[in-house]
Each structure stands twice: as structure tokens, then as C-alpha cells.
A and B are shown apart, each in its own frame.
Chain A
Amino acid sequence: MTNGFSPYGTNGDGFLHRGTPLGTVVGGSLSDGVEIRLNPSGETVIEDVKVGTFVTIQGKRYRFFGVITDLELANSDSRIRHSPPDSDDPVLLEVMSGTMAYGVLSVMPSLALPLGSAGGVSPSAAKTVPSHFSPSYSATDDDVASVFGREDDQHFWIGSPLDMDTRVCLDLDNLVRRSFGVFGKSGTGKTFLTRLLLVGVLQGGTASSLIFDMHSEYGWSGQDTDRNRHVKGLKQLFPSYVSTFTLDAESSRRRGSSPDEVVSIGYSEIEPEDIELLKDNLSLSDVAAAACFNLQQRFGGDWMSQFLTHQGQGIGDLADDLGVNRAALGALHNRLSRFRRYPFLEEGDRHNAAAKIIEHLERGKHVVLEFGRYGRDLNAYILVSNLLTRRIHERYVALKEAAEGGGGKDPRPLVIVIEEAHRFLNPSISSQTTFANIARELRKYNVTLMIIDQRPGGIDSEVMSQLGTRFTCALDNERDIDAVLSGAAGSRQLRGVLARLEDKQQALIFGHAVPMPVVVHTREYGTPESYASLTRNVKAGLPDDLLEGETSEERLERQIDELFS
């Protein structure tokens, strides 16, 4: 062994320790993964091995790291299938088990580390496969740490590999560099995983996040329906770093939250594109939706308010005047009138909620926009999130372009979090949304998306293909599974892993934030201990020079004191 990095690690007394021996490589390929025949007389029986488990393979030149993607009961004599040995003959059963009838593990080697590498060398993507008869072992804690890194300011502990206590960490820089998605059917822990990821983004300190909090579960507090308890939201955990905005002040008050801002939006801030996006939800025909553009041409920025002042015959006359179909304009009027029910929509154009949000974001804060009771109204959610995002995006584009021209510093990277993404990133309308633009532009303008959805199959494949990291809890629907895995290396093998995730607290993670696909048992969230451990590492993420627990006003006072002391 070299003086440098030991591929096994030592147990302190100089003896090499590896995981439990599993078997030896007997076949396979780089594209399909390798086959490992389970040791015939080993202590491990196939029932001890689980799909998604992390394993290592000791090749002649490299040490390979991979996950088990499938398990097979194989035999050397097909007659065993037709005439198995008598079950009351233990000797015969034992002799045949492991010799003529044996287990085969399919393992996708994702990473390889040259043997004898010096310490600190990270494994790189495997471009070869282990030689025949290379032994395989279950992964040890050291293996996991060498692949996923140790927890620090830029590595966020997200959970543990299956049947292990060691920590799988995400590379936070890589995570926020591109858009990412959290998927899973209802009740599989998406929300908890999202909370953890948001804490991670906050801990990383390199990006701010803007959360369009549909069900008001990230800001102040959320519900753990399984344990029937309340869990703390970001604002309670990190009061100095998080600003809460609300569309529904009453709901926020009822929930004990004291929002930093109550958001109002002027009718004049609504543009025809926003209505076009809601076309399906409002059951508007193409003609009716397109009429918004005519109205904007006629009335200018205040088109919506002015249009809604028309009543009865006036709408017909206006239709004739604009040259649009009377019925279509009538339908449009009818649907837009529903917006009158939203108290957060007001006359005038001086509300500028987007500017306020941007102001908080630029100060390094993370903004949670709670929708309160309007979260149940998809139209409100789509309208507001798209409208605000468009403005924020425009602002970021301007700032970025100014920075490129030497006229200022780069805007702080921003992660925009949206839920129910399939409703407005589906192929028919995604091209009209700012979100799709953000997903496509990647981080050119320092804005990325975090998409949370239970029906990824409904999201435009172009958007899905742009996601850098995907976090997937259990999914049932074939189309959803296909969508999540599309474009991923080894997607065929990962399919088996994904299909067998447990319904709770398990997620498959693959993409830029992790060096290789891994199934994790997600970290606990909701207990006092979990809060303590989550808030421990956040100093690195302090916006500007804010101290922990300090508000911006307090900072100002402190700075004045320091200046004159």
C-alpha cells in the first residue's frame, strides 16, 4: 500500500477494513452495468441486499463506486426451475444454494478512483468497468465520505444511504448553479425534502431563494400530517435571513406569522401574456385570450381595469370596435371579472411588489411569499408567481447586462421555487412562461428554478432536460418515472431503483449536486434536535455582514457604534 490514500481506510490498528464482501464481477458492460455473482458461501444472502444500496468494487487499477440497480435469482441449470429440490432436504438445498442457484446483483459503476491515489483525490466518472472476478463489498462510511464529501459550509447533509448511518452531502455550489427539481407523489416527503434543500441553499450562502409558497408551509410553519404536529418554517429557524411576504395577511395572522410585507399587485401590472397563460384554467378560447392584446393596444397599460369597467352592451360595442368576436370578448370579461375577488389586486400601478422582493433578495435575504387561502386557487398562484417572476427576471437581466458592461456587480444568484409546476410548465404553455425561459437560460442571468411537482410527466421535456439535479421520492406513474429519468445516465437501471423507493423519507438523488446517483433516507426535520443541527452551520450564509440573530436595523446600529467608538 502506498503512503497516501488507502482505498479501504484503516480501522486504527493498521488492518484494512472494507465493507461486507458481496461477490465477484462475472460479466456486464459499461452501458448496462456489471453483474456481480453473490458469494456462494458468504454470510450475505440475497435478501440482505437491497436495490439502491451503495457498493464498491475493487478492480485491478481502480476502485469503483456504484449502486445496486437490480437483483436476480439466477441458476446454472434451468431444470431447477422445473424440478426444484425437495424443500425438506436441507443438505441438498444448502448445496444448491449459492452454487447452482445463486444471486446476481446488477451494479452501475458510476465513479472510479485510481488505486494508490493520494489522499484528497476525488473519484471521477467511471469510463471503464472492473475486471472479471473483481471482488465487491458493501460500502463503508469512509467510502461514502470519500464520494460525497464531509459536511461543511458547501456540503449539506441531506440524508443517509440505505441501511447506513453515514451522511450523504450535497455540493451546494453545484446545486444552485443550475435549475433543480423535487418530485414524488403526494405524501412521500417532497415538502420535507424541499425544506431541507432550502436550508441547504441558505447555508450555502451563495444564492438567495424566492419561494412561491402555495400552501404556506415553508415560511413560518408547516404541518407534519403523519405525526400530527407543526414543524417550524424557515422564518422561525433563520429569522435574520428570511423575509416573509404574504398575499393574505389575515391567514398569516391566524397562523401566528408576522409577515414582513403584504403583497398587493396593480391591475396595470397584469399583461396579456399572463392571461394567455391562464387560458386553459379559465376555459378561454384562443380568440378570447388573444383579445387581451387588442385591449392592451386600445387602453394601454391599464387595459384590464378599463375593460372591466365595461358592462353589458358596452362589451359588445367594444368588441365591434376592436374587431373581435363579441362572444369571445364577453367570455373574457366574464372570466376576468373573477379577478375582482382577489383583494390583493388593486387599482393603480404603484404597488411594485416585485421591487420590494428584489430589494430583500439583493440584501441577501431569502423571501417566502405565502399565498394563504389563495394557494388553493391555481389561477391566483399562476398569475402572481408568473407576474412577479417576469419582473424579477427582467430586473436580473438588466443587472447582469449592466455588470457585464462594467456598470455594477453581478446580481446575487437567485433560486425561484415553484410548486405544481406541471400546471404551467406543460408543453402547451411552457413556452409562454418566464419559468421556461429561466430553465432554458440556465444561470446566464443568475436565476435558476427549483421545481416541486408530483406529476413530472406533465412538465415540458425541454424544461426537464435542463434540470441539473433531480430529487425523486416515490413515483407510481410510468410516465412520471420516464420524465424524471429522461436524459439521465443509466436511466434504465435507475428506473428499478426509483420504482422501489419506500413511500416515506426516501429519495433518489442524481445530477450535478452529487457525484453519483444515490438513494437516501432523508434527514430528520421537525424535532428540536433536527432544528439545532440544521441551524448550526449557517454562519457561512450570512448575508453581507449580518450577525446571527441580527436584523438589518440592528446591523446598522452596530455599524454606527463601531464607526464612532
Chain B
Amino acid sequence: MSQRVGEIIGADSRVLTVQCYELYGAPPLGTFLSVGEPPVLAIVQCIRTEPLDPSRPVLARGRDFDTLDDIYRENPQLERLLTTRLDALIVGYESDGRLVQLLPPVPPAIHAFVSICPPATVARFTDNLEFTRFLLNSGSPMADEVMVACLRTVSSNRSEGDEFLRRAGQILSKEMVGDSARLSSILRRARL
């Protein structure tokens, strides 16, 4: 049973907004998520923790405390006033038992459960690296960082090591045909 981390609170065909069950309980940047059933696959591309009520801004409370833990211990209401949300970029879905790297015909329903994608599914999905184009062309200012994070996560879970990065690099180089510096930066950081 994969680990459930939250549920959908906003969705369009491209990006899902997920509210996490636990404050600070978001999976790391670049993690593959499995949403609903049959699963839609998405990659964590932005995590933020914010007040549940946007009209009640967060105030600084640490002047008289030594540690961060002290602040939360002395202000237990914070657990109720704050929440962790994340945006996830849809990169594919399962159809008739096959994983396809396309956008789903319709986005997942609101309140659909969001889990961390099982490693076996990630491995199967990342045999094909066409999905990297979704990340590169997401329009997000953090697209490259998400790409680096995703490649690092996936390659660490695959036995091929550098060979995976070579394949990914060749796909990316076709997309970034005129931008060697960007490609170089992504690949270098993916192996740090």
C-alpha cells in the first residue's frame, strides 16, 4: 500500500493542487505522485506552507524563543492555522494497464487521494523519458530545479546509474538544442 500524503483541492489539465494531510508532510520536490484510480501520474513541482485563512497573515513569534520547536510547542494553534500545499505537474496516466506519457483526457476529481508513486511504477514509467518534455516546457520558473530533483530521485532508484542520465540527457538535448549551458547545468546538478 503506497503512502497517502493528501488529496486534490484544485485541478486543471496540467497542474494539480494538493493539500497535504500533515503540516510539512509534502513529499520532496521532483517526487512522482499517484493520484486517484486509475492513477494519474504527476511530479511535485512546487511546495508551499501558508495560512489556511488567507485573510489571517502569519505573524513572527520567535522573539522570546530559542528554537523553532519551542515556537510550535508554545503555539499549538499553529498546527490548525497553517497548511502545506503543493503543485504537481501531470506527466501521464495509466490506461488499460499501460502507462502513457500523455495528459489525461480529464483531470482527477477534487478530493482524489494523492499517494507517493510506488517505486516499481516509477521505474516502469521512466523507461521512457519523453515525459521530461512536460517538465521542461511547464513554464514554471523552477522547471530546471524540478528536472534536476526528478532526475536525481529517479536515477538513485534505478540500477543503470549514469546510463539513465545519458539517455535523459539525449532527450533533453533535443529539446534544448540551442541552449548548451542549460543542459550542462541540469546534467551536472543531477549528479551532485
B128 within 8 A of A: no
For the complex, what is the distance from the CA of A91 to the CA of B184, rounded to whole Å?
10
B179 within 8 A of A: yes
A96 within 8 A of B: yes
Chain B min CB distance to A128 (Å): 29
- Residues 141 to 181 of chain B near chain A (Cβ within 8 Å): 162, 165-166, 169-170, 172-174, 177-181
A556 within 8 A of B: no
Contact code string A514-533 (vs B, CB < 8 Å = 1, else 0): 00000000000000000000
Q: CB distance A92 to B184 under 8 Å?
A: yes
Residues of B within 8 A of A96 (CB): 169, 173, 180, 183-184
Contact code string A68-86 (vs B, CB < 8 Å = 1, else 0): 0000000111011001010
Chain B min CB distance to A272 (Å): 73
For the complex, what is the distance from the CA of A3 to the CA of B161, rounded to whole Å?
49
Asked if A95 meets B181 with Cβ closer than 8 Å, knowing A40-B170, A100-B173, the reply is: no
For the complex, what is the distance from the CA of A524 to the CA of B17, rounded to whole Å?
77
Asked if A77 meets B169 with Cβ closer than 8 Å, knowing A91-B162, A95-B183, A96-B183, the reply is: no
For the complex, what is the distance from the CA of A94 to the CA of B162, rounded to whole Å?
11
Q: CB distance B180 to A80 under 8 Å?
A: yes
The 8 Å CB contact of A41, one of B170, B177, B178, B184, is: B170
Chain B min CB distance to A45 (Å): 16
Chain A min CB distance to B101 (Å): 20
- Residues 13 to 65 of chain B near chain A (Cβ within 8 Å): none
The 8 Å CB contact of A99, one of B174, B179, B181, is: B174
Q: CB distance A76 to B178 under 8 Å?
A: yes
A89 within 8 A of B: yes
Name the residue among B166, B173, B177 with the largest chain A CB count within 10 angstroms.
Answer: B173
Q: CB distance A99 to B162 under 8 Å?
A: no
Residues of B within 8 A of A85 (CB): 180, 184
Chain A min CB distance to B146 (Å): 19
Q: CB distance A92 to B170 under 8 Å?
A: no
Q: CB distance B166 to A76 under 8 Å?
A: no
Residues of B within 8 A of A41 (CB): 170
Chain B residue, CB-CB nearest to A90: B162
Chain B min CB distance to A297 (Å): 81
Q: CB distance A91 to B169 under 8 Å?
A: yes
For the complex, what is the distance from the CA of A308 to the CA of B174, rounded to whole Å?
85
Name the residue among A40, A80, A100 with the largest chain B CB count within 10 angstroms.
Answer: A100
Q: CB distance B169 to A95 under 8 Å?
A: yes
Contact code string A83-117 (vs B, CB < 8 Å = 1, else 0): 10100011110111001100000000000000000
B188 within 8 A of A: yes
B99 within 8 A of A: no
Asked if A99 meets B173 with Cβ closer than 8 Å, knowing A77-B180, A91-B166, A94-B166, the reply is: yes
For the complex, what is the distance from the CA of A83 to the CA of B185, rounded to whole Å?
12
Residue total for A at the interface (Cβ-Cβ under 8 A): 18
The main secondary structure of chain B at its interface with chain A is: helix
For the complex, what is the distance from the CA of A79 to the CA of B185, rounded to whole Å?
14
Chain A residue, CB-CB nearest to B180: A77
For the complex, what is the distance from the CA of A485 to the CA of B172, rounded to whole Å?
45
Chain A residue, CB-CB nearest to B172: A95
For the complex, what is the distance from the CA of A80 to the CA of B182, rounded to whole Å?
12
Residues of A within 8 A of B183 (CB): 95-96, 100
Chain B residue, CB-CB nearest to A76: B177
Residues of A within 8 A of B172 (CB): 95
Name the residue among B169, B177, B184, B191 with the largest chain A CB count within 10 angstroms.
Answer: B184
Asked if A91 meets B165 with Cβ closer than 8 Å, knowing A41-B170, A100-B183, the reply is: yes
Q: CB distance A99 to B170 under 8 Å?
A: yes
B102 within 8 A of A: no
Name the residue among A75, A83, A89, A99 with the largest chain B CB count within 10 angstroms.
Answer: A99
For the complex, what is the distance from the CA of A99 to the CA of B162, rounded to whole Å?
18
Contact code string B102-131 (vs A, CB < 8 Å = 1, else 0): 000000000000000000000000000000
B9 within 8 A of A: no
Name the residue among A79, A80, A91 with the largest chain B CB count within 10 angstroms.
Answer: A91
For the complex, what is the distance from the CA of A79 to the CA of B191, rounded to whole Å?
23
Residues of B within 8 A of A79 (CB): 180-181
Name the residue among A40, A77, A85, A95 with the largest chain B CB count within 10 angstroms.
Answer: A95
Residues of A within 8 A of B165 (CB): 91
Residue contacts A-B, CB under 8 angstroms, 28 given: A40-B170, A75-B180, A76-B177, A77-B179, A79-B181, A83-B181, A85-B180, A85-B184, A90-B162, A91-B162, A91-B165, A91-B187, A91-B191, A92-B169, A92-B184, A92-B187, A92-B188, A94-B169, A95-B183, A96-B169, A96-B180, A99-B170, A99-B173, A99-B174, A99-B177, A100-B177, A100-B180, A100-B183
Show the binding face of A for B, using Cβ within 8 Å.
40-41, 75-77, 79-80, 83, 85, 89-92, 94-96, 99-100
Show the binding face of B for A, using Cβ within 8 Å.
162, 165-166, 169-170, 172-174, 177-181, 183-184, 187-188, 191
4 closest A-B pairs by beta carbon, nearest first, are A95-B169, A99-B173, A77-B180, A76-B177
Other than A77-B178, A96-B169, A99-B170, give 11 A-B pairs with Cβ distance below 8 A: A85-B180, A85-B184, A95-B169, A95-B173, A95-B183, A96-B173, A96-B180, A96-B184, A99-B174, A99-B177, A100-B173
